[in-house]
Amino acid sequence: MATRQLVDEHRLILGALDGLEALAAGVDSGESPNRKDVVDFVEFFSQFADGCHRGKEEDVLFAALADSGYPLTRAPIAALAKEHATGRRMVGELRRVAEKRGDWSSEDGELFSGAAQRYALLLRDHIRKENEVLLPLAESQLNAEQLARVDELFDLFERRRNSTGETERLTRLAERLVAKYPAAPRPQAPAPERVSSCCGL
């Protein structure tokens, strides 16, 4: 199912974000980054997260919702489309630093780290909105025939990309980066204190 495919792709993208943040944290600590890895992260987010994943969302899913009568100018689609554009600009920032010739200065490292952290923050929240709002909306707004058509168009989209092996290559690229840059442990929020009520619950 198309919505399940998007959720699976979200998991891959989130894993790559973990790796990008780990690389940025190393730069913040004074480590000299592997420049090829920086370029590979940019390629993954540009070609997979944007070119493949967002291509299916914008060209197929958003279009199907519009055909069903759901306005593209209405939330959540308008806000998500705006965030897609913002994400593209942020990847452009990362690309400009990644492709700079010669050794990075301390300012270059700060630019990269800041851009990486801002992009990760945006994309994590964006994916949460898609999983919790957009995809349930699509499943409730589109009828069975429309959902089947979205599935068909997603398959066609993937067949075209897979004819060149592009999706598989980018997936392997992300998996290599995730393995090389494991996510730092995230602090867990403390459990809320139990408050006694008048009823003793």
Question: In a structure prediction context, what are the per-residue pLDDT tens digits for the chain, which is 201 residues long?
Answer: 889 999 999 999 999 999 999 999 999 998 888 999 999 999 999 999 988 899 899 999 999 999 999 999 999 999 999 999 999 999 999 999 998 888 888 898 999 999 999 999 999 999 999 999 999 999 999 999 999 999 999 999 888 877 788 889 999 999 999 999 998 765 554 444 443 333 333
What pLDDT is recorded for position 165? Answer: 84
| Amino acid letter, 105 | S
> What's the CA gap between 71 and 179, in Å, rounded?
41
166-180 and 2-28 helices cross at what angle (nearest 10)?
A: 40
Q: How many CB atoms lie within 10 A of CB 189?
A: 6
CB crowding 116-144: b at 16 or more within 10 Å, else e: beebbeebeebbeebeeebbebbeeebee
What pLDDT is recorded for position 194? Answer: 40
> What's the CA gap between 1 and 154, in Å, rounded?
9
Q: How many CB atoms lie within 10 A of CB 201?
A: 7
* Residues 25 and 117 sit within 8 Å (Cβ to Cβ): no
* Residues 38 and 89 sit within 8 Å (Cβ to Cβ): no
What pLDDT is recorded for position 3? Answer: 92
**What does DSSP assign to residue 99?**
T
